[in-house]
Structure 1
Amino acid sequence: MTAIERDAVNAVGTAAYAQFEGVYSDWARFYAGAANLAALDIEGQVLVARDHSGAILGAVGYFGPGTPRPECFAPNTAVIRMLAVAPKARGGGIGRALTDACIERAKADGAPTISLHTSPAMAVALAMYQRVGFREVRTLPDRFGVPYAVYQRELN
Protein backbone atom coordinates (compact mmCIF):
# COMPACT_ATOMS: atom_id res chain seq x y z
CA MET A 1 0.00 0.00 0.00
CA THR A 2 1.44 3.37 -0.99
CA ALA A 3 1.61 6.33 1.39
CA ILE A 4 -1.20 8.01 -0.58
CA GLU A 5 -3.37 4.90 -0.25
CA ARG A 6 -2.62 4.67 3.49
CA ASP A 7 -3.68 8.29 3.92
CA ALA A 8 -6.89 7.65 1.94
CA VAL A 9 -7.72 4.53 3.97
CA ASN A 10 -7.12 6.43 7.23
CA ALA A 11 -9.30 9.31 5.98
CA VAL A 12 -12.13 6.85 5.26
CA GLY A 13 -11.68 5.40 8.76
CA THR A 14 -11.90 8.77 10.49
CA ALA A 15 -14.87 9.91 8.39
CA ALA A 16 -16.73 6.63 8.88
CA TYR A 17 -16.32 6.46 12.65
CA ALA A 18 -16.80 10.19 13.38
CA GLN A 19 -20.52 9.59 13.89
CA PHE A 20 -19.74 7.76 17.13
CA GLU A 21 -18.19 10.75 18.91
CA GLY A 22 -19.97 11.06 22.23
CA VAL A 23 -20.91 7.36 22.21
CA TYR A 24 -17.52 6.04 23.37
CA SER A 25 -16.24 7.05 26.80
CA ASP A 26 -12.62 7.35 25.64
CA TRP A 27 -13.33 8.92 22.28
CA ALA A 28 -9.76 10.05 21.65
CA ARG A 29 -8.39 6.51 22.02
CA PHE A 30 -11.17 4.92 19.96
CA TYR A 31 -10.82 7.54 17.23
CA ALA A 32 -7.04 7.08 17.13
CA GLY A 33 -7.65 3.47 16.06
CA ALA A 34 -10.02 4.55 13.28
CA ALA A 35 -7.49 7.15 12.17
CA ASN A 36 -4.91 4.39 11.75
CA LEU A 37 -7.01 1.80 9.92
CA ALA A 38 -4.20 1.33 7.36
CA ALA A 39 -1.97 -0.10 10.12
CA LEU A 40 -4.06 -3.28 9.95
CA ASP A 41 -2.13 -3.98 6.73
CA ILE A 42 0.96 -4.77 8.80
CA GLU A 43 -0.26 -8.07 10.29
CA GLY A 44 -3.34 -8.57 8.12
CA GLN A 45 -4.56 -7.25 4.80
CA VAL A 46 -6.54 -4.09 4.19
CA LEU A 47 -9.05 -4.60 1.40
CA VAL A 48 -10.39 -1.48 -0.29
CA ALA A 49 -13.36 -0.50 -2.43
CA ARG A 50 -12.78 2.17 -5.06
CA ASP A 51 -15.02 4.26 -7.26
CA HIS A 52 -14.63 4.51 -11.05
CA SER A 53 -11.89 7.14 -10.65
CA GLY A 54 -9.89 4.98 -8.24
CA ALA A 55 -10.78 6.93 -5.09
CA ILE A 56 -11.02 4.75 -1.98
CA LEU A 57 -14.59 4.69 -0.64
CA GLY A 58 -14.29 1.89 1.89
CA ALA A 59 -11.80 -0.35 3.64
CA VAL A 60 -11.68 -3.32 5.97
CA GLY A 61 -9.00 -5.32 7.74
CA TYR A 62 -8.88 -9.05 6.95
CA PHE A 63 -6.88 -11.51 9.05
CA GLY A 64 -6.55 -15.10 7.89
CA PRO A 65 -6.37 -18.12 10.18
CA GLY A 66 -3.25 -18.11 12.33
CA THR A 67 -2.46 -14.42 11.92
CA PRO A 68 -2.16 -12.17 15.00
CA ARG A 69 -5.51 -11.07 16.39
CA PRO A 70 -7.18 -9.95 19.62
CA GLU A 71 -7.55 -12.74 22.20
CA CYS A 72 -11.34 -12.81 21.79
CA PHE A 73 -10.92 -14.65 18.45
CA ALA A 74 -9.92 -18.30 18.00
CA PRO A 75 -6.60 -18.80 16.17
CA ASN A 76 -8.16 -20.88 13.35
CA THR A 77 -10.89 -18.40 12.43
CA ALA A 78 -10.55 -15.63 9.88
CA VAL A 79 -11.28 -12.18 11.29
CA ILE A 80 -12.87 -8.99 9.93
CA ARG A 81 -11.75 -5.77 11.63
CA MET A 82 -12.73 -2.11 11.33
CA LEU A 83 -15.05 -2.08 8.33
CA ALA A 84 -15.33 1.56 7.24
CA VAL A 85 -17.31 3.19 4.43
CA ALA A 86 -17.05 6.88 3.62
CA PRO A 87 -20.30 8.62 4.63
CA LYS A 88 -20.84 9.93 1.08
CA ALA A 89 -20.75 6.33 -0.24
CA ARG A 90 -23.07 4.69 2.27
CA GLY A 91 -26.10 2.80 1.07
CA GLY A 92 -24.42 1.66 -2.14
CA GLY A 93 -23.46 -1.84 -1.02
CA ILE A 94 -19.79 -1.13 -0.31
CA GLY A 95 -19.87 -2.50 3.23
CA ARG A 96 -21.55 -5.67 1.99
CA ALA A 97 -19.06 -6.02 -0.89
CA LEU A 98 -16.10 -5.68 1.48
CA THR A 99 -17.66 -8.19 3.88
CA ASP A 100 -18.29 -10.62 1.01
CA ALA A 101 -14.68 -10.20 -0.13
CA CYS A 102 -13.49 -11.12 3.37
CA ILE A 103 -15.78 -14.17 3.42
CA GLU A 104 -14.46 -15.34 0.04
CA ARG A 105 -10.87 -14.81 1.13
CA ALA A 106 -11.53 -16.78 4.35
CA LYS A 107 -12.98 -19.67 2.33
CA ALA A 108 -9.93 -19.63 0.04
CA ASP A 109 -7.70 -19.64 3.14
CA GLY A 110 -9.52 -22.75 4.43
CA ALA A 111 -10.93 -21.09 7.55
CA PRO A 112 -13.82 -23.01 9.14
CA THR A 113 -15.36 -19.76 10.37
CA ILE A 114 -15.05 -16.00 10.03
CA SER A 115 -15.50 -13.75 13.05
CA LEU A 116 -15.75 -10.09 14.01
CA HIS A 117 -16.66 -8.01 17.00
CA THR A 118 -19.07 -5.14 16.96
CA SER A 119 -21.56 -3.23 19.05
CA PRO A 120 -25.27 -2.46 18.90
CA ALA A 121 -24.11 1.18 18.62
CA MET A 122 -23.06 0.25 15.07
CA ALA A 123 -26.62 -0.73 14.19
CA VAL A 124 -26.37 -0.49 10.39
CA ALA A 125 -23.23 -2.62 10.22
CA LEU A 126 -24.57 -5.12 12.75
CA ALA A 127 -27.79 -5.58 10.77
CA MET A 128 -25.81 -6.16 7.58
CA TYR A 129 -23.57 -8.72 9.29
CA GLN A 130 -26.62 -10.57 10.57
CA ARG A 131 -28.21 -10.57 7.09
CA VAL A 132 -25.13 -12.31 5.69
CA GLY A 133 -25.18 -15.00 8.37
CA PHE A 134 -23.15 -13.77 11.33
CA ARG A 135 -24.54 -14.85 14.70
CA GLU A 136 -23.57 -13.67 18.16
CA VAL A 137 -21.41 -16.26 19.90
CA ARG A 138 -20.06 -14.41 22.94
CA THR A 139 -20.47 -11.11 24.74
CA LEU A 140 -17.34 -9.15 25.52
CA PRO A 141 -16.52 -6.64 28.21
CA ASP A 142 -17.54 -3.11 27.25
CA ARG A 143 -15.05 -1.28 25.05
CA PHE A 144 -14.76 2.40 25.92
CA GLY A 145 -18.12 2.20 27.70
CA VAL A 146 -19.96 0.48 24.83
CA PRO A 147 -21.19 -3.15 24.83
CA TYR A 148 -19.51 -5.48 22.33
CA ALA A 149 -19.92 -9.09 21.24
CA VAL A 150 -18.17 -11.57 18.97
CA TYR A 151 -20.16 -12.61 15.90
CA GLN A 152 -19.26 -15.59 13.76
CA ARG A 153 -20.30 -17.20 10.50
CA GLU A 154 -19.68 -20.80 9.56
CA LEU A 155 -17.95 -21.32 6.21
CA ASN A 156 -18.98 -24.51 4.44
Structure 2
Amino acid sequence: MTTIRPARPAEYPVIGEIAANAYAEAGNLPADGSYGPVLRDAADRADKAELLVALDGDKPVGTVTVVRPDEPYAEICRPGELEFRMLAVAPQAAGGGVGRRLVEAVFDRARAEERGRVVLCVQDSAEVPRQLYHRLGFQRLPERDWSPKADIRLLAYYLEL
Protein backbone atom coordinates (compact mmCIF):
# COMPACT_ATOMS: atom_id res chain seq x y z
CA MET A 1 0.00 0.00 0.00
CA THR A 2 1.20 3.48 -0.85
CA THR A 3 1.58 5.98 1.97
CA ILE A 4 1.54 9.73 1.30
CA ARG A 5 3.11 12.14 3.79
CA PRO A 6 5.31 15.24 3.97
CA ALA A 7 8.83 14.50 2.76
CA ARG A 8 11.71 14.31 5.22
CA PRO A 9 15.11 15.91 4.64
CA ALA A 10 16.88 12.55 4.29
CA GLU A 11 14.53 11.75 1.38
CA TYR A 12 15.13 14.96 -0.58
CA PRO A 13 17.96 13.61 -2.80
CA VAL A 14 15.94 10.55 -3.82
CA ILE A 15 12.80 12.64 -4.37
CA GLY A 16 14.76 15.06 -6.56
CA GLU A 17 16.06 12.20 -8.69
CA ILE A 18 12.57 10.68 -9.02
CA ALA A 19 11.26 14.02 -10.32
CA ALA A 20 14.14 14.66 -12.72
CA ASN A 21 14.15 11.09 -14.05
CA ALA A 22 10.37 10.95 -14.52
CA TYR A 23 10.37 14.20 -16.49
CA ALA A 24 13.37 13.09 -18.57
CA GLU A 25 11.87 9.68 -19.38
CA ALA A 26 8.61 11.32 -20.44
CA GLY A 27 10.48 13.76 -22.69
CA ASN A 28 9.27 16.74 -20.68
CA LEU A 29 12.57 18.49 -19.97
CA PRO A 30 13.56 21.57 -21.97
CA ALA A 31 16.40 20.98 -24.40
CA ASP A 32 18.55 23.58 -22.63
CA GLY A 33 18.73 21.46 -19.45
CA SER A 34 17.54 24.29 -17.22
CA TYR A 35 14.68 22.44 -15.49
CA GLY A 36 16.59 19.35 -14.32
CA PRO A 37 18.33 21.19 -11.46
CA VAL A 38 14.99 22.70 -10.38
CA LEU A 39 13.41 19.24 -10.25
CA ARG A 40 16.38 17.83 -8.34
CA ASP A 41 16.20 20.59 -5.69
CA ALA A 42 13.59 18.96 -3.47
CA ALA A 43 15.00 20.75 -0.44
CA ASP A 44 14.11 24.13 -1.94
CA ARG A 45 10.57 22.97 -2.70
CA ALA A 46 10.18 21.67 0.85
CA ASP A 47 11.40 25.02 2.18
CA LYS A 48 9.20 27.23 -0.02
CA ALA A 49 6.10 25.05 -0.49
CA GLU A 50 4.84 21.68 0.76
CA LEU A 51 6.65 18.64 -0.58
CA LEU A 52 4.79 15.34 -0.39
CA VAL A 53 6.27 11.91 -0.94
CA ALA A 54 4.61 8.63 -1.88
CA LEU A 55 6.17 5.63 -0.18
CA ASP A 56 6.06 1.94 -1.00
CA GLY A 57 7.02 0.61 2.40
CA ASP A 58 9.80 3.03 3.30
CA LYS A 59 10.97 3.60 -0.29
CA PRO A 60 10.04 6.88 -2.04
CA VAL A 61 8.23 6.16 -5.31
CA GLY A 62 6.59 9.50 -6.10
CA THR A 63 6.32 13.15 -5.22
CA VAL A 64 4.25 16.27 -5.68
CA THR A 65 4.74 19.89 -4.65
CA VAL A 66 1.70 21.61 -3.11
CA VAL A 67 1.63 25.37 -3.53
CA ARG A 68 -0.45 28.20 -2.07
CA PRO A 69 -1.01 31.52 -3.89
CA ASP A 70 1.52 33.52 -1.86
CA GLU A 71 4.39 31.03 -2.13
CA PRO A 72 7.42 31.34 -4.46
CA TYR A 73 6.54 28.20 -6.46
CA ALA A 74 3.05 29.47 -7.32
CA GLU A 75 2.52 29.81 -11.05
CA ILE A 76 -1.20 30.20 -11.64
CA CYS A 77 -3.05 29.82 -8.34
CA ARG A 78 -5.12 32.60 -6.90
CA PRO A 79 -6.76 33.15 -3.50
CA GLY A 80 -9.10 30.29 -2.65
CA GLU A 81 -7.11 27.85 -4.79
CA LEU A 82 -4.41 25.27 -4.20
CA GLU A 83 -1.92 24.47 -6.95
CA PHE A 84 0.22 21.42 -7.43
CA ARG A 85 3.39 21.08 -9.44
CA MET A 86 6.11 18.63 -10.30
CA LEU A 87 4.04 15.48 -9.92
CA ALA A 88 6.39 12.58 -10.59
CA VAL A 89 6.35 8.82 -10.16
CA ALA A 90 9.37 6.52 -10.26
CA PRO A 91 9.39 4.30 -13.36
CA GLN A 92 9.10 1.10 -11.32
CA ALA A 93 5.88 2.43 -9.73
CA ALA A 94 4.33 3.86 -12.91
CA GLY A 95 0.83 2.64 -13.66
CA GLY A 96 0.22 1.53 -10.08
CA GLY A 97 -1.96 4.45 -8.98
CA VAL A 98 0.78 6.44 -7.23
CA GLY A 99 0.14 9.58 -9.27
CA ARG A 100 -3.57 9.38 -8.55
CA ARG A 101 -2.93 8.93 -4.82
CA LEU A 102 -0.66 11.99 -4.80
CA VAL A 103 -3.31 14.12 -6.54
CA GLU A 104 -5.94 12.86 -4.09
CA ALA A 105 -3.64 13.96 -1.24
CA VAL A 106 -3.63 17.43 -2.82
CA PHE A 107 -7.46 17.34 -2.83
CA ASP A 108 -7.40 16.42 0.87
CA ARG A 109 -5.14 19.39 1.62
CA ALA A 110 -7.37 21.75 -0.36
CA ARG A 111 -10.50 20.60 1.47
CA ALA A 112 -8.78 20.87 4.86
CA GLU A 113 -7.79 24.45 4.02
CA GLU A 114 -11.27 25.22 2.67
CA ARG A 115 -9.96 25.98 -0.80
CA GLY A 116 -12.64 25.45 -3.40
CA ARG A 117 -10.44 24.81 -6.41
CA VAL A 118 -7.28 22.92 -7.31
CA VAL A 119 -5.25 24.17 -10.28
CA LEU A 120 -2.23 22.97 -12.22
CA CYS A 121 -0.25 23.45 -15.39
CA VAL A 122 1.01 20.63 -17.58
CA GLN A 123 3.14 20.70 -20.68
CA ASP A 124 1.03 20.38 -23.83
CA SER A 125 3.10 17.36 -24.91
CA ALA A 126 2.66 15.46 -21.61
CA GLU A 127 -0.06 13.01 -22.66
CA VAL A 128 0.03 10.59 -19.70
CA PRO A 129 -0.41 13.25 -17.00
CA ARG A 130 -3.09 14.99 -19.04
CA GLN A 131 -5.02 11.70 -19.29
CA LEU A 132 -4.81 11.27 -15.50
CA TYR A 133 -6.08 14.79 -14.88
CA HIS A 134 -8.95 14.25 -17.30
CA ARG A 135 -9.93 10.99 -15.55
CA LEU A 136 -9.90 12.83 -12.21
CA GLY A 137 -12.32 15.44 -13.56
CA PHE A 138 -10.02 18.38 -14.24
CA GLN A 139 -11.21 20.85 -16.86
CA ARG A 140 -9.21 23.19 -19.04
CA LEU A 141 -8.54 26.74 -17.88
CA PRO A 142 -7.16 28.18 -21.13
CA GLU A 143 -7.08 31.79 -19.95
CA ARG A 144 -4.21 30.79 -17.64
CA ASP A 145 -2.15 28.90 -20.23
CA TRP A 146 1.36 30.28 -20.48
CA SER A 147 4.86 29.70 -21.81
CA PRO A 148 7.92 29.95 -19.55
CA LYS A 149 10.11 29.62 -22.68
CA ALA A 150 9.44 29.96 -26.38
CA ASP A 151 9.47 26.19 -26.96
CA ILE A 152 7.33 25.21 -23.94
CA ARG A 153 3.57 25.61 -23.71
CA LEU A 154 1.87 24.95 -20.38
CA LEU A 155 -1.83 24.18 -20.32
CA ALA A 156 -3.82 25.17 -17.24
CA TYR A 157 -6.45 22.96 -15.64
CA TYR A 158 -8.78 23.24 -12.66
CA LEU A 159 -11.06 21.10 -10.54
CA GLU A 160 -13.81 22.52 -8.37
CA LEU A 161 -14.06 20.68 -5.06
Q: Same fold (TM over 0.5)?
A: yes
Counterpart of 1:56 in structure 2 is: 60
Counterpart of 1:150 in structure 2 is: 156
Q: How many pairs are equivalent? A: 153
Counterpart of 1:126 in structure 2 is: 130
Letter in 2 for 1:44: A
Identity %: 28
Say which of 75, 78, 81 aligns to 1:74.
78
Pair 1:95-2:79 in alignment: no
Contact 1:23 1:146 survives alignment (8 Å): no
Counterpart of 1:104 in structure 2 is: 108
Letter in 1 for 2:106: C
Counterpart of 2:52 in structure 1 is: 47
Pair 1:35-2:35 in alignment: no
Distance 1:114 1:152, change over 3 A: same
Name stretches of at least 5 consecutive residues in structure 2 with no aligned partner.
1-6
- The root-mean-square deviation of aligned C-alpha atoms, in Å, is 2.0
Contact 1:77 1:111 survives alignment (8 Å): yes
Name stretches of at least 5 consecutive residues in structure 1 with no aligned partner.
none
Moved over 6 A (4+): none
> 1:74, 1:59 → 2: CA distance?
23
User: Helix, strand or coil: the match of 1:4?
Assistant: helix
Following TM superposition, by how much is the alpha carbon of 1:70 offset from its aligned partner in structure 2, in angstroms? 3.2
Counterpart of 2:4 in structure 1 is: none
Q: TM-score normalized by structure 1?
A: 0.87
Contact 2:51 2:65 survives alignment (8 Å): yes
